[in-house]
Amino acid sequence: MAEDTRNYRLKISPPLLNSASPWATTIEQIKELYECEHTGAVTIRTSLLEGFAEDPSIHQYIYHNNFSVPAGSLVNYDPKPTLHAPKNNHQHNHEDTSSSQTSTLNTLGYSPITLSEYLGHINEIVGQRHLGTNIDVPKKPFILSVTGTPDEIAMAYALIANAAEMDEDLRLAMEVNLSCPNIAGKPPPAYDAGELREYLGALGDSKATYRGRMAGPESEVRVGVKLPPYTYSGQFEMVAKELAHAKSSEPGEGSVVDFITCTNTLGSSLILDADLKPALNSESGTGIGGLAGAALHPLALGNVATFRRLLDQQPETRDILVIGVGGVEDKGGVERMRSVGAGAVGCASALGRFGVGVFAKMAS
């Protein structure tokens, strides 16, 4: 691959990170990801201003082999009420995470932990640096994945920017999740040009409001969008066009968007159990959810390659970082993502299978 000469505004070094997922829910999980020497950033599970009403009876996930699931493979939630998270897969040895179960299906929603609570967790983790307990850990970015209405996204940016302004040790970014396929009656906004334009406008206004208040370029809160999988050229072209038109108020900076994460899970997917019944429950009652892991990898590679090509065609979007996500679990997957234009590479399903040790495999 030719040398990448783009001037990415969000710096991730080393270029490995987790994507927003159940395995980045609790402070313990986030701290472990932050202290991993192989991660260049940490993405926190998608949150809302007021939290999400998580219900283990309908918000579920499984590992599978792309066709079916073995008996007893449902991965349920830890009963500890204070964690609000799936079991800590850093230690578990469920049969559903065997070498043949490389894909996931989920009907999950968002984190029950609020954005403000996550900012508190980050302050606690980074604050240990001041106490001298982890001073050797580099200052890597926390990417706070958020969702909501455009107005709520603007409020979320204000919360994150205020936190960054108050502590120069924080490296914060905001990823707007416009791509969750599992919320009944709320299709992913990133499939609609008008809705995407509205969100990008809110991001532009928010960045303009807080520009100049940060201590320096490193402390400025960078913003990105998490995109769903696209399957035909018109969809890719629509997104690239909207990104180019959403220009920053800062001269020479191009788009208001600093990075895109692609791709999120593929919705409208269904896995059946041995009795030919839906393997999961869901809000809609159909068991249909989002597909991820190895089964998504070819589509994710295609999305990354297509977006990198389109973004490079316009000066406003050339320096947008593409974070490639989907089915990566080893060095080979990282190399494939990087070869098609990913400036950084993330994983979720593999993190659930192997724990933070997966990043050593990815970096080997």
DSSP string, 201-244: HHHHHHHHHHTT-SSSGGGS-EEEEEPPP--SHHHHHHHHHHHH
- Angle between the 297-311 and 233-245 helix axes, to the nearest 10 degrees? 40
> Which residues touch 332 (CB under 8 Å, ≥6 apart)?
none
pLDDT over threshold 70, residue 73: no
Site of tokens 């791709």: 263
Start-end of H helices in the chain: 27-35, 115-130, 150-166, 193-210, 233-245, 297-311, 331-339, 349-354, 358-363
Q: Each residue of 85-126: pLDDT tens digit?
A: 333 333 333 333 456 789 999 999 999 999 999 999 999 999
Instruction: Determine how many CB atoms are found less than 10 A away from the CB of residue 51.
Output: 16
pLDDT over threshold 70, residue 77: no
Q: Each residue of 322-338: pLDDT tens digit?
A: 999 999 999 999 999 99
Q: Each residue of 308-318: pLDDT tens digit?
A: 999 999 999 99
Q: Is 137 left (phi over 0), alpha (psi -120 to 50) or beta?
A: beta
Task: Report the run of H or E that residue 290 belongs to, with start and end.
Answer: strand 289-293
Q: Under a CB-based contact definition with an 8 Å cutoff, are residues 221 and 173 in contact?
A: yes
Confidence at residue 148, expressed as pLDDT on a 0 to 100 scale: 97
Q: What are the structural domain ranges in the chain? A: 16-51+110-264+293-363
pLDDT over threshold 80, residue 84: no
Q: What is the CATH number of domain 16-51+110-264+293-363?
A: 3.20.20.70
Report the C-alpha gap between 320 and 307 in whole angstroms.
10
Pair of tokens at residue 118:
């996550």
Q: Each residue of 214-231: pLDDT tens digit?
A: 656 677 899 999 999 999
The mean pLDDT value of the chain amounts to 88
The candidate with the shortest Cα–Cα distance to 353, out of 110, 22, 17, 9, is: 22
